Amino acid sequence: MIFIAGPTGSGKTSVSIGLARKIKNAEIISADSRQIYKHLSVGTAKPAGKWVNIEGYRAFIYENIPHHLIDIIEPTEFFSAGDFVELSNEAAAETKKRNNIPIFVGGTGLYIDSFIDGIAKLPQKNEQIRKELYELEKKEGRAYLHNKLKEVDPESAVNIHPNNIHRIIRALEVYHITGSPISIWHEKHKKSLKSKYEKHTIFALNWDRKILYDRINQRVEGMLENGMIEETEKILTKNPAIVNSPALKSLGYKYVVDFLNKTINFEQMKSLIQQVTRNYAKRQLTWFNKNKDINWINCDNLEIGEITEILWKKSLQSE
C-alpha cells in the first residue's frame, strides 16, 4: 500500500500519475478533503477527469487512470474521517480484486492517519441538532461555540482550531447525542474503523518553504485565470443557500464569495487566497512532521519526472 502525501501545491497529483504509469496496474485513491465535492473543481485543484463505466464498475478517470473518492458528494453534504476510512477501505478492496495496486494520494493528514491507525466510528448525524448549532454560530459567532466546546470537552477544544466550525459543531453534536465528550468517545471506541491492510509505505513531498510558497502563489493565480470565480458564481446561481455549506467555506472559495458580493476587490481576493493557502500548507507540514513513518522526498531543483523516479525506486526497495 503506497501513500503520497505532502502539502498543497507540492505536486502530488503529477507524481502520482507518473508513479501509476510506472506501476502499470495502479488505481489512485484520493485522500483530499476538498476534492470529494462535486461541482468544485478549479478551486480544489481536482484532476480534470470524467466519470466512465469500465468493466462492471464506475470510476473517475484522469490520464487513463481510475481515481476513487473524487467528485462523490454534494457541497452541502458532511464527510468525516470515518466516512473516508469506510469508503477508502472499500475502494482499496475493489482495486485489489482487480489485481491492481492502490496508491493513496492527498494532503489531508487526518484521513491518512485515520486509515492507518484507526478511528472511532461516531454516532449517526442528527440534522436537527446540527441545524440548531449552525444557527447559533450565525447568531453568536464561532468563538462562542468554541467556548461552549471548552466547557464540555476541554481536550477537543485544544485540538480543534477555533475557525474549524465544522469540527466544532461535530464535537458538540456528538456530546449532545451521547452525553459524552467526543474525545472520550474516541478513546472508548478507538480503532472500530481502520485499514484492513497492515503493510504500507508513506512518502511525502518536501520543498524549500520559499519555493513551496511561490508554487502556491502561482497556483492560485492559475486557478483564478482558469475559472474559479465563474465556477463559484455558477454554483451559487444554482443554489444560493450553498454559500453556508462546508465546501464553500473551505480554502479560497470564501474569498471568491466576498469578491462576488463586492466586499473585497480582485487583488485583495487573490492575496487572501494565497495567504490562507500558504497557512494551510504550513499546518499540513506541521501535521506530517509528527509522523515518524513518513519517507520524505526532497524535491528542490528537481523536475516532476525526477521526483517520480526517486519515489518509484524507493517504493521498489520498500516491497
pTM summary value = 0.81
Residue 203 CA to residue 125 CA, distance in Å, equals 34
Q: What is the pLDDT of residues 154-174, one digit of tens each?
A: 988 987 878 778 789 989 998
Task: Cell numbers for 195, please give them.
Answer: 485499514
Find all residues with CB under 8 Å of 4, minimum gap 6, and list them: 12, 15, 16, 19, 103, 104, 105, 106, 203, 204, 205, 311
Residue 228 CA to residue 291 CA, distance in Å, equals 33
Sign of the dihedral through C-alpha 28, 32, 38, 44: negative
Q: What is the pLDDT of residues 207-262, one digit of tens each?
A: 999 999 999 999 999 999 999 999 999 999 998 888 888 788 877 999 999 999 99
Where does the pLDDT of residue 192 fall: very low under 50, low under 70, confident under 90, or very high at 90 and above? low
Q: What is the pLDDT of residues 51-69, one digit of tens each?
A: 999 877 888 999 999 999 9
In terms of pLDDT, which residue wins out, 194 or 124? Answer: 124
Q: What is the pLDDT of residues 279-312, one digit of tens each?
A: 999 999 999 999 999 999 999 999 999 999 999 9
Position 292 scores a pLDDT of 92
Domains and CATH numbers, the chain: 2-120+192-317 (3.40.50.300), 127-188 (1.10.20.140)
